[in-house]
A = this chain, B = another copy of it.
């Protein structure tokens, strides 16, 4: 058995070797191996392939496990994989995304950045005598659209602050005890009417594209704040800009955007609208999940799954079982 790391995955060969409790050959393949059958000779029937993308329209060779080192499966052509090939993915990004969201809620209400900016040796005495009170997230209502891993990781942290959690999700059941209320998507407006913060944490699908338009922003409290850590297109670009520019809603934290560079040199603005010029918008560059600890956690899961494959234990995060 060999472990074949394709493209960016090869950067983490050292981490994977360190985590593997069993001696195994770890081999790097170039990123072209994700789509070029010319590399199939390097892949044996007992092997594990770790790659974010794998497409073989004419049929993939047999191997035991395709491990995606991320959550998204949009780079994988499941239909053309060999029937004996299992597919697993990894998550772990719910941790940094939830930390980003709580940092945002606290920055909005507590405002450490504002406090720091106002404080100088000269301003100290007057500031101390006439301290402007700030806000608390304690007791505020957090609406979460999409109550999967990310939504629940946000809720678990927000509850520790005494926030009320209202989740909107068709498949979340009772929310695993992490929500005060779980509403179906048809009752979105009910959540919007009471939430102090609305976080978008659902995937982009045909059902969620444009889910937030003029009517949804109008249904929010004027004091409410909108946060998107999923995909920009879930909110209509013009409607979101109008709601923020007119102060129909109080503010937004936007980590995802409407336009992305498509190659190594393209320069595109993130939106056709000047969100960046609005003082009530906190704009960040799709960074919420991008932490130094994330690859280590992900490759620890991959190493654990390779161990399980070798000893015949059930795989974690199984997307498709080998038949």
Are A125 and B268 interface neighbours, CB within 8 A? yes
Q: Which of B118, B133, B292 contacts A285 (CB 8 A)?
A: B118
Q: Within the assembled complex, what's the spacing in Å between the Cα atoms of A110 and B269?
A: 24
Contact B261 A133 (CB under 8 A): no
- Asked if residues A124 and B270 are in contact (CB atoms below 8 Å), the reply is yes
Q: What count of chain A residues pass the 8 Å CB interface test?
A: 64
- 0/1 string, A77-90, CB within 8 A of B gives 1: 00000000000000
The smallest C-beta distance from A44 to any residue of chain B, in angstroms, reads 34
Asked if A217 lies at the interface with its beta carbon under 8 angstroms from chain B, I say: no
Instruction: Write the chain B residue with the least CB distance to A121.
Output: B269
A286 nearest in chain B by CB position: B128
Whether A160 lies near B162 (C-beta < 8 A) is no
Contact B157 A291 (CB under 8 A): no
State whether B261 touches A136 (Cβ < 8 A): no
Alpha-carbon distance A27/B138, docked complex (angstroms): 31
Top 6 A-B pairs ranked by shortest CB distance? A160-B160, A103-B106, A125-B261, A127-B285, A121-B269, A115-B284
Q: Which residues of B contact A120 (CB under 8 A)?
A: 276
Collect the chain B residues with CB atoms within 8 Å of residue A323's CB: none
For the complex, give the distance between the alpha carbons of A283 and B118 in Å: 9
Q: Give A263-274 as 1s and 0s: 1 = Cβ < 8 Å from B's Cβ atoms.
A: 010111111001
Q: A131: which B residues are within 8 A, CB to CB?
A: 285-287, 290
**Contact status B284-A116, CB under 8 Å:** yes
Across the interface, which residues of B come within 8 angstroms of A267, CB to CB?
122, 125-126
Give the contacting residue for A96; candidates B136, B157, B294; CB below 8 A: B136
Residues of B within 8 A of A124 (CB): 257, 261, 268-270, 285
Query: A28 at interface (Cβ–Cβ under 8 A)?
Result: no
Does A100 count as interface, using CB distance less than 8 angstroms? Answer: yes
A106 touching B102 in the complex, CB below 8 Å, given contacts A133-B290, A270-B124, A290-B133: yes
- Cβ–Cβ contact A99 & B293, under 8 A: no
- Contacting pair A95 B136 (CB below 8 A): yes
With a CB–CB cut-off of 8 A, which chain B residues contact A138? 95-96, 99, 293
Q: Contact flags (1/0) for A234-254 with B, using CB distance below 8 Å?
A: 000000000000000000000
**Which residues from 160 to 195 on chain A have a C-beta closer than 8 Å to any C-beta of chain B?**
160-162
If the complex has contacts A95-B136, A124-B285, are A112 and B104 also in contact, measured as CB distance less than 8 A? yes
Q: Is the CB of B104 within 8 A of A100?
A: no
Q: Which residues of B contact A43 (CB under 8 A)?
A: none
Give chain A interface residues in 273-307, CB to chain B under 8 Å.
274, 276, 282-287, 290-294
Q: Do the beta carbons of B133 and A292 come within 8 Å of each other?
A: yes
